[in-house]
Structures are given as C-alpha cells and as structure tokens.
Structure 1
Amino acid sequence: MNDHCRKVLVMASSKGLGLAIAKRLAKNRSEVVICGRNKAALDQAVGDLQKIEGCAGAHGIIADLSRRSDVDMLLQRTLELLGSIDCLVVNSGHMPHGTIEDLSDDDWDHSYETLLMSAVRVSRAAAAAMKASGRGGDIVYVTSGGVHEATGHLMLSNVMRAGIAVLAKHLADTLAGSGVRVNVVAPGYFDTGRVHKRIEALMVDEGLNRDAAIKRVANTNPLGRIGTADELAELVGFIVGDRARYLNGTTIVIDGGGSRLVM
C-alpha cells in the first residue's frame, strides 16, 4: 500500500471518534472521504482534513446511515470520487439508552438499520471493490466494549454491535484470500458525544462539577480517566498499517483496563 495514494472511507466522521480516525488516516498520502448528516459540521471537518500535511485530498458526503438509499449512495459516490477504496472504517452514531421495557419496536428497527445493516451493506460493496482492485485492503469496525461485556442501559448498542463483531469474524475468513483484512476496535469511555451527555447529566442530576462528573464516569477505570479520540485513532492507524499485516479477525478492546475480562 505504500507505493500509491491510499483511498479511505470513514463513516460517521464529521466529529468525534470518526473525525479523529479520519485525521489520523489522512496522513501519509491518503485521500479521505468522510460522511455525516450535518452539512456545516461536514464542511468544517473536510476543511480541517485538507490542512493536514500528507493528506492527498478530502471529500464530504451527506448521508444518513439509517437509510438504505443513503448507504448505497455513500459507497457509490466514494468510488466515483476516489476511483477505488483501500480502507473502510465502519463507524456509527449512538443509540438511545433503555431496557427491554423502555425500548419500542421503532427503536429496535432504527438501531438495526443504523448500526447493523448499514455495516452489512457498505461492507458488501467495499469488499467487492477491494477484491476487484487486486490490492487487498482493510476493513475496521468501531463498535464498543459492550460486544464483550454487556451494560444494561446500552442494550440496543450491545445487541447490534455484537452482531457486527460476528460479521467481522466471518468476513475475516472469507476475504483473507484476496488480501483484505478485517478487524474490530471496541472502545470503552472516550471524550466524545455519548460520554459528554452522561457527564452533563451527572452535573445536573447530582450537582457535580465537571471534574467530579468525569471522575464518576471513570471510577471503574484503573487509569482513572476516560480516553481521548486521538488515542483510539492511533490504534486504528496501527491496525491498517504495514506493521500489523498479520492482524486479522481480531476484536481489540481499548478501554484503559475498565472491563473485567481476562481474555
């Protein structure tokens, strides 16, 4: 991959973890496509990417991952812009909190389309393009630590993202012969959207200041803090790099040691 400009698509990437990953992958002569639902945020993110030294180009596509037509359009438009694709990062937004009693059929249907089926559809199209190029490629799914250790208030996310982990394992088997590697990154608490909302809720509900609310969120983490988006992006950068060519079919948890899993 080092002898040509790498072609990259990062989904749900106008802000947060997705944008941090896109910025990391924009280096080293990469041309990057990002997507999001908000045009102003997307335009700002594209501008930031274009300023990165080594970035070979950046493009933004308005897309709602809950809509099949938008997901189909996203990959088609990416191939029109880039000519091919070498690296796909499947990222998505957050789902509502709730228990089995709280969540409606509409909640489940929306989560199924947004998290699981968007991943299936874009992976199918990207895998075909990667195989056709003859250069192989990388697919990385950003899920959550809930694929290993379920948390009650994140039922929708846990169920759908566990399905993505299984999808990734199957694809790692079936695509390896064409040089396409497939891996999963499962983050814990990071300093982005969903965690910001939880911190703000603790400040309101319990009268905590921001530092105290952050400590409450991170109280089970041996490092005593939450992660930064750049730390996750560095892991993704390593996974798709030449030093990790033997890494395939693996789910890597990055949570500062917060989970209690042994393996």
Structure 2
Amino acid sequence: MDLGLQGRVAVVAAASEGLGYAAARALAAEGARLAICSRRADAIERAARSIGEATGAEVLAVTADVSRAQDVARLVEAVDRRYGQVDVLVTNAGGPRVGTFFELSDADWQAAFDLLVMSVVRMVRGFVPLMRKTGRGGSILALTSYSLKEPISGLMLSNTMRAALAGLLKTLSQELGGEGIRVNVIVQGRFDTERVRELDRIRAQREGITPEQVVRRYADQIALRRYGHPDELARVIAFLASDAASYVTGAALTIDGGLVKGLL
C-alpha cells in the first residue's frame, strides 16, 4: 500500500534510538522528509546519517531537549527555516525518574511534567501553525506507555503524567479536527529498547533477581509471549500518520502484543 507520504514533512522527537528512531526511519522509507531531534548532538547526527543512507530521505538533525522551552523553540525555527511546513508530528520523550510516591521530590514532579506534558504542549503550539500552512491538515501522534491503561508499580511519575497527556490530546483532537488535523495516542507495551532494558535492570535489582528473569516474567504476561520489536510499532505509526488513516482521530491505540488485559 502506498501511504501517500512521499514529500511530506515529518518531525520526530527523541529519535536518536529506540522507538523514535524506528518511527523516523519508517516515515523516511515511505518518502517523507524528516526533522529529528535528541539531546545529544553526536547521537542525533549519527541517526540522521543512518536513516539517510538507508532510505535516501532528506533528514534534518537538531540537537534539542524537548523538556526545555528554548530548545523546542529552536527546533521549530530550524524546521520552519528548512521546510516551511509540517505534515506529521510524532511527540516522544524519555521516561521520567523511577520511584514510588514518597521517593519523589517536588523537583522530580516538575521535571516529569516538563518532560512528558509541557514538551507536547510546546511542540503542538509550535508546529500546528506550520501544519496549517499546507492547507491539508496533518497528523499528531504522541508516543506514551501502557501505564496509561494499567498503572505500573514503581512508575508513579509516568503513570500520572501520561494520564494527563491523554486528556490533553483527546481535547486537542476535538479542537483541531475541524482543520483536518488528526491527534492520536500510541499506547505502547514492552518493546526491546534501551529504556525498557533499563527499567528491567532496575526492577531486577530491587527484587534481587536477574534482568533475564524480569523479561521472562513480563513475556509470560504478553499474549504473544515476547517483547515487541521497534519496527513493529513504527509501521503502525507510519499508517496513522498517513492519509490511509484519514478518519482516525482522538484514538488511543494500544500496541502491546496483548499485554494489557482491559477491554478498553
């Protein structure tokens, strides 16, 4: 299926590795022109080279920490200067500090809010005007976590902030739908990324078991009995970003191999 992304402009945050990188590469493979960012200059430049060499796509790499307002503003300016428009925005960020309620300080809460909520607020505020320039609407996709559906023990900050983000994005889907701008949430399960490996190592240390035992325990809870590969998520993102999903907005799509047991 031709997803119709040839020549479109896609912005993907936190794209130096993991799910962000996979999403950017999938969009580039469909013909999109890219702008990608991460906090480390060497990592994002390396990712841009890798994606460009693999797909032939034009890739703009920007060093930016999306939890910082000035960095988001600089990212928006760089994309506007290079492309002058945006069709797809994929918001993404690393996870906040691991911890239970009484282990967390006010500073931890503020940092998590800036990372997971305000980063999206600022990116939407900055990039929607560039979507409006195209006259054909656009697609905003927010990568979240299955903690949105089923709180994960020890991840107080993630559980709380991702729920707030879901409320923000559902409301935005109503406010922007009349302009043809679709807003959807990706609720991902356990994918084989460095972030998930880190969480598994932390849990193993807390419980006095090996990381391999943690992985096996989680895999046994997943209907498909394994963690996902980032490319499996990326292909869904490319579909939702495209006109092939032109009637999908306000959705929270769970991609978890059957981990979450809830009906909705």
Asked if these proteins are the same fold (TM beyond 0.5), I'd say yes
Q: CA deviation at 1:3?
A: 8.2
Deviates more, 1:15-24 or 1:222-231: 222-231
1:58 match: 59
Deviates more, 1:199-208 or 1:189-198: 199-208
Matched to 2:258, the amino acid is G
Residues 172-219 of structure 1 show CA distances to partners (whole Å, capped at 9, x for unaligned) of 111111111110101011101222113434666645474x44212323
| Matched ranges for 1:57-136 at <5 A | 57-136=58-137
Matched to 1:134, the amino acid is G
Residues of 1 paired with 2:155 and 2:216: CA distance? 20
Q: 1:71 to 1:130 in 2, by over 3 A?
A: same
Runs of 5+ consecutive residues of structure 2 not aligned to the other structure: none
Q: CA deviation at 1:238?
A: 1.2
Residues of 2 paired with 1:146 and 1:224: CA distance? 19
Matched to 2:145, the amino acid is S
Residues of 2 paired with 1:116 and 1:3: CA distance? 28
Deviates more, 1:10-19 or 1:160-169: 160-169
Matched, 1:149 2:150: yes
1:40 match: 42
Residues of 2 paired with 1:114 and 1:3: CA distance? 29
Tell me the TM-score normalised to structure 2 length: 0.93
Contact 2:85/2:133 (<8 A) preserved: no
Aligned length: 261
Contact 2:139/2:242 (<8 A) preserved: no
Q: CA deviation at 1:133?
A: 2.5
1:178 match: 179
2:8 match: 6
Contact 2:5/2:242 (<8 A) preserved: no
RMSD: 1.8
Contact 1:115/1:160 (<8 A) preserved: yes
Q: CA deviation at 1:54?
A: 5.2
| Matched ranges for 1:173-252 at <5 A | 173-201=174-202, 206=208, 208=210, 210=212, 212-252=213-253
SS at match of 1:133: coil
Q: 1:202 to 1:114 in 2, by over 3 A?
A: closer
Percent sequence identity is: 36
Q: 1:3 to 1:244 in 2, by over 3 A?
A: closer
Matched to 2:112, the amino acid is S
Matched to 2:167, the amino acid is V
Q: CA deviation at 1:42?
A: 1.0
SS at match of 2:236: helix
Q: 1:76 to 1:243 in 2, by over 3 A?
A: same
Residues of 2 paired with 1:29 and 1:234: CA distance? 14
Q: 1:120 to 1:201 in 2, by over 3 A?
A: closer
Q: CA deviation at 1:246?
A: 0.8
Q: CA deviation at 1:262?
A: 0.7
Residues of 2 paired with 1:182 and 1:69: CA distance? 24
Q: 1:83 to 1:209 in 2, by over 3 A?
A: closer
Residues of 1 paired with 2:86 and 2:146: CA distance? 28
Residues of 1 paired with 2:210 and 2:118: CA distance? 39
Matched to 2:19, the amino acid is L
Runs of 5+ consecutive residues of structure 1 not aligned to the other structure: none
Residues of 2 paired with 1:63 and 1:188: CA distance? 26
Contact 1:239/1:247 (<8 A) preserved: yes
Residues of 1 paired with 2:55 and 2:45: CA distance? 18
Q: CA deviation at 1:242?
A: 2.4
Deviates more, 1:66-75 or 1:200-209: 200-209
